[in-house]
Copies of this chain bind each other. A is one copy, B any other.
Amino acid sequence: MGAVTVGNVTIGDGNFAVIAGPCSIENRDQLLEIAKEVKASGAVILRGGAFKPRTSPYSFQGLGEEGLKYMKEAGEAAGLLTVSEVMDSSEIELVASYVDIFQIGSRNMDNFSLLKRVGKSGHPVLMKRGYMSTIEEFLLAAEYLLKEGNTNVILCERGIRTFEKLTRNTLDLSAVPIIKKMSNLPVIVDPSHGTGRADIVAPMSKAAVAVGADGLMIEVHPNPRKAISDGQQTLDYQAFAALMEEVGELRAFLYNQQPFKPMAKLKAL
């Protein structure tokens, strides 16, 4: 009840999972390094975009299948599950052959054709809230997956569009306790997209823990300033490791859980 298990990772029911990685997959060696680093800090799932939904068709559109191959290799090498976005029903089999969890992006939350087909695939899904969707619409979109028999659904609050200009989106943390009252699905929080600001990812992550989220999704890159996309909201390795330590200790305090083990190891060094 209330949890999704993929491989050896359970999300929900007291199990907190951190997903980390770059916005876009840029090249093989970098992704292998990122995977190793985020694993060392306590992440259990590697994220990375191969097919990128970009506002402009003239922006970088992602490495495509090549990127997915790197994901598979990097996840296996580091001992991490992988998640990447599927943007079109014609790519479902392709993406499923490389990554453990589909991501339904914010712009596709109400792409009901895609949802139906992803639902039929039975493949685990991380579904992001549409950035202009109500919580009720979010839960009804999840029903498109559940109705086809796919119950391996993880929800992700990632901010909604408002008039505020100092953040990219307004991260709606109230969605977490509300969804928990209305649904059994695990809910994680993406403070990277939810704020668009690396400088407040840490406090918003702690707030997500305090509000009862089942996990976090964090953008990490060795050199955020040089990232192909979303650098302004991306943490470097050091900031991510520090965040994981804080988050792990807060989890331990609030929910009587062990801090992330890899973190403990880091401390011992």
Chain A positions within 8 Å of B, measured between CB atoms, are: 51, 53-58, 87-91, 107-108, 110-114, 116-117, 130-132, 134-137, 140-141, 143-144, 147, 160-167, 170-174, 176-178, 181, 194-195, 197, 199-200, 203-204, 206-212, 250, 253-254
A162 touches which of B87, B137, B163 (Cβ 8 Å): B163
Which chain B residues border A88 with CB–CB below 8 Å?
Answer: 88-89, 111, 113-114, 117
Q: How far is the CA of A210 from the CA of B58 in the complex (A)?
A: 35
CB of B207 within 8 A of CB of A173, answer yes
CB of A161 within 8 A of CB of B164, answer no
CB of B90 within 8 A of CB of A90, answer yes
Q: How far is the CA of A172 from the CA of B254 in the complex (A)?
A: 23
Q: How far is the CA of A211 from the CA of B55 in the complex (A)?
A: 27
Q: How far is the CA of A160 from the CA of B176 in the complex (A)?
A: 17
Copies in the complex: 4
Which chain B residues border A91 with CB–CB below 8 Å?
Answer: 113
Which chain B residues border A108 with CB–CB below 8 Å?
Answer: 111
For residue A200, which residue of chain B has the nearest CB?
Answer: B177
Which chain B residues border A167 with CB–CB below 8 Å?
Answer: 174, 178
CB of A132 within 8 A of CB of B112, answer no
A252 to chain B: closest CB distance in Å?
10
A38 to chain B: closest CB distance in Å?
22
Which chain B residues border A56 with CB–CB below 8 Å?
Answer: 140, 143
Q: How far is the CA of A166 from the CA of B178 in the complex (A)?
A: 8
A57/B140 contact (C-beta < 8 A), A178-B167, A204-B174 known:
yes
A133 to chain B: closest CB distance in Å?
8
Which chain B residues border A171 with CB–CB below 8 Å?
Answer: 173-174
Q: How far is the CA of A212 from the CA of B87 in the complex (A)?
A: 36
